[in-house]
Amino acid sequence: MDVVESVRMMEQDQDDFVRRWQQLVQHAEQMLPLHGGRIVKSLGDGLMLELASAQGAVKTAFAFQHFSHQTNAGLSPDQQMHLRIGGHLATFVTDHHDIYGTDVNLTARLCTLAGPDEIVFSAELRDRVVPGLDADLEDMGECYLKHVEKPIHAYRVSPPGAMPKFVSLPADATELRPTIAVIPFTARTSGPDDAVLGEILAEEIIAALSRSPDLNVISRLSTTTLRGRDTSLPLLQNHLNANYVLSGAYRVSGSQLVLVTELIEARTGRAVWGESLKSSVQDVLQGEDKITTEVVSQLGTHIVRTEMQRAASRPLPNLESSTLLMGAISLMHRSTRSEFDRVRDMLEYLIDRHRRLPTPRAWLAKWHVLQVTRGMSSGGKDETQRALEQTQRALDVDPNCSLALAVEGFVHCHMLKDLDGAAQRYELALAANPNDSLAWLFSGVLHAFQGVGDPAKAAAEKALSLSPLDPMMYFYQSLAASAVLASGDYTGAIALAQASLRANKAHSSTYRALTIALSLNKQMDEARDTAQRLLTIEPNFNVREFIRRSPSEHYPAGQIYAQALRDAGAPE
């Protein structure tokens, strides 16, 4: 048994969490002997319990649920302590310190299948429970557990006559995007129209940020009430569940407006970004000011950078889900093997934390593809199977998950070289979500491999327009460069590749696209220089292996690109 989101609660109020945990342990010590049980170990936010019978295990689990419901009464959702419980019929070795064995480890893994206030039993323990008398049982089917090779048949357990209860945790417990609150800006001057300008600017920024799939934006109606108040960051965190807060003040002088903004990381109170921006009052009133564009661009850049730094430097249990996901996505395209391997650890930890969310599994499938396309693995059936296993599990949870469909198409394209299968999955992804930017991007690259230029360029442009704040913008620009390249717009491809490299100088596939574009555009000196930089990043690169791995191998476009690389001095 353990406490759901214990790290968040500990950070929110450590003394209160410890006090309530101690109450729980004292209750367990009084209650367990009544059901033939004992505490084997306490981990500070979880208990390993041993009981003599299945009936004792059921009664103990229900007693913990009842105690949890009682202690949560009257508390706000973010203060409530929710338990998850897993049970298994186990054999083990014991001494005066601990109990040991495969079944002990399996019991701990079973606990991760349970949601807040849920109980999950293995089939072996379920067989000792009388349905309708001891408990009501819901078949969860075959479930996969971390580091357990074969699926485990599991059952959700509830008191007789009671339906399973699914608790909604605070938004930040399951939200996979960082949340930002934009507080309407405060006027430092008192002209007749001055006060309304802050509302207009905040509304424009909120509208622009809301179009990003990578940020969760608090409604203007929720943030307007906080304007001008001396609100503390804990208040903003607890009431708005905000990870970041944008606020500021402005002055109006004649027709000119100067806005001083500040982006604060709510958890630490640290200023992540601040800037002084200028516009005219007329442009603001007409919605044509450049402030909104600049603020939105800077916010996206600095939030992604902050989340990535946290994800790269801190232990996984201390990270929020949104940080884990955004950090994993951003680090996925870094150059070092250690950073790339950490991405897998982050995604697997996130999957273990949120078993019913398809998104982390879809990104883990993409990680397996990149491991092959970047030459870190020779690929083969095993790697392909691992990638497809993750997309299938994601689609089992949500058959209409456009991200999982898009990534499965990516697998078919880059690992199986099944371009027809890839196209089919991209179509399904866009049918499920016509605004899925990654599906549009992958579709553009697919057309590029086939040498179909105009659709490739159109799909890439659509992807870029749909994801202006994407944490992988350099990746979008890199793949868009390849798509635009296929249309014959070499100048446009060069511009996109150079923009991508300004954001990430370690992305080897961008150098490949830039080398090809420069070579085909007859800028041979620049092409040779870029090819040398490619070899610095990827010393073992050669044209033959590039073509072998490329889905364009059997299309004329592949031969054209290969010759362009040779002309630029890339080794055969």
The whole-number average pLDDT for the span 141-170 is 71
CATH number at residue 539: 1.25.40.10
Question: How many CB atoms are closer than 10 A to CB 376?
Answer: 12
Whether residue 539 sits in one domain with residue 418? yes
> Could you tell me if residue 380 is inside a domain?
yes
At residue 145, does pLDDT exceed 70? yes
Checking if the pLDDT of 203 tops 50, the result is yes
**C-beta separation of 144 from 393 below 8 A:** yes
Residues 304 and 336 in one domain: no
The proportion of the chain whose per-residue pLDDT surpasses 70, expressed as a percent, equals 88
Indicate whether 305 and 369 sit together in one domain.
no
Average pLDDT in the chain: 83
Model pLDDT, residue 333: 66
In this predicted structure, the answer to whether residue 233 has a pLDDT above a threshold of 70 is no
SS3 sequence of 11-30: HHCHHHHHHHHHHHHHHHHH
What's the number of CA atoms in the CB half-sphere (13 Å) around residue 265? 15
Write the DSSP assignment of 207-234 as a string of letters. Answer: HHHHT-TT-EE--HHHHHTTTTS---HH
- Asked which of 131, 166, 201 is the last residue of a domain, the reply is 166
Q: How far apart, in Å, do the first and last CA atoms of the chain sit?
A: 59
Range of the domain at 400: 318-567
Asked if residue 329 and residue 245 are part of one domain, the reply reads no
pLDDT grade for 101, boundaries at 50, 70 and 90: confident
Write the DSSP string, 123-192: HHHHTTS-BTTTBEEEEEEEE--TT-SS-EEEEEEE-TT---------HHHH--S-EEEEPPPEESS--T
Q: How many domains does the chain have?
A: 3
Are residues 513 and 562 located together in one domain of the fold? yes
- 82 and 200: one domain? no
Which CATH number fits the domain that encloses residue 123? 3.30.70.1230
What letters, b where the CB count within 10 A reaches 16 and e where it falls short, cover 276-297? Answer: ebebebeebeeeebebbeebbe
Instruction: Indicate whether 10 pLDDT > 80.
Output: yes
Note whether residue 222 is domain-resident. Answer: yes
Does some domain include residue 74?
yes
pLDDT band at 28 (very low <50, low <70, confident <90, very high): very high
The region of weakest confidence among 119-128, 153-162, 489-498 is 153-162
Residue 130 is assigned to a structural domain of this protein:
yes
Residue 71 near residue 82 (C-beta atoms within 8 A) = no
pLDDT tens profile 58-100: 999 999 999 999 999 988 888 899 999 999 998 888 877 778 8
Cβ contact 538:508 at 8 Å = yes
> How many angstroms separate the CA atoms of 96 and 108, rounded?
20
Residue type at 44 in one-letter notation: G
Q: Is a pLDDT exceeding 70 seen at residue 436?
A: yes
Same domain flag for 444 and 474: yes
Kindly compute the dihedral angle of the four CA atoms of residues 435, 441, 444, 448, in this order, to the nearest 10 degrees. Answer: 180
Whether residues 146 and 256 share a domain: the answer is: no
pLDDT band for position 170 (cuts 50, 70, 90): very low
Query: For residues 422 and 410, what is the distance between their CA atoms, to the nearest angstrom?
Result: 6
Q: What is the model's pLDDT at position 468?
A: 55
**C-alpha distances in Å from residue 187, one per residue of 200, 258, 389:** 12, 10, 55
**Confidence category of residue 481, pLDDT binned at 50, 70, 90:** very high
Only one residue has tokens 């003599």, namely: 52
Q: Which helix (H) or strand (E) segment is 543 a member of?
A: helix 543-549
pLDDT in tens, 337-392: 777 888 888 898 888 888 778 889 998 998 888 887 666 665 567 888 989 999 99
- Averaged over 115-122, what is the pLDDT? 91
Query: Would 572 be classed as within a structural domain?
Result: no
Helices (H) and strands (E) in the chain, counts: 25, 15
With 80 as the cut, is the pLDDT of residue 309 above it? no
Give the per-residue pLDDT at 377. 63
pLDDT, greater one: 496 or 289 = 496
Between CA 374 and CA 505 the distance in angstroms is: 15
The last residue of one of the domains, among 274, 309, 344, is: 309
For residues 110 and 151, membership in a common domain is answered with yes
DSSP letter assigned to residue 317 = G
Query: Is the predicted pLDDT of residue 165 greater than 50, yes or no?
Result: no
Q: Can you say whether residue 273 is alpha, beta or left, with left for phi > 0 and alpha for psi between -120 and 50 degrees?
A: beta
Higher confidence at residue 14 or residue 186? 14
pLDDT number for residue 507: 77
**509-564 pLDDT tens trace:** 889 999 999 999 999 999 999 999 999 888 888 999 888 888 888 889 889 999 99
465's CB contacts (< 8 A; 6+ apart) are none
User: Quick check: 229 pLDDT over 50?
Assistant: no
Judge contact between 227 and 198, C-beta under 8 A. Answer: yes
272 and 413 share a domain? no
* One domain, residues 235 and 185: yes
Residue 455 lies in a domain: yes
Residue 172 has pLDDT above 50, yes or no: no
CA distance 133 to 136: 8
263 phi, psi to nearest 5 deg: -105, 120
pLDDT (0 to 100) of residue 471:
53
Rounded distance between C-alpha atoms, residue 284 and residue 290, angstroms: 9
Q: What DSSP string describes 374-425? A: TTSS---HHHHHHHHHHHHHHHHH-TT-HHHHHHHHHHHHHTS--HHHHHHH
> What pLDDT sits at residue 388?
92
Percent of the chain with pLDDT over 90: 28
Render pLDDT for 268-287 as a digit per residue (tens, 0 to 9): 778 888 889 888 888 877 77
The pLDDT, as a whole number, for residue 202 is 81
- The answer to whether residues 156 and 180 belong to one domain is no
Which of 166, 200, 216 is the last residue before a domain boundary? 166
When pLDDT is cut at 50, 70 and 90, the band that residue 174 belongs to is very low
pLDDT band at 173 (very low <50, low <70, confident <90, very high): very low
Angle between helices 508-520 and 524-537 (to 10 degrees): 160
List C-alpha distances in Å: 37 to 133, 144, 371, 440.
21, 28, 48, 56
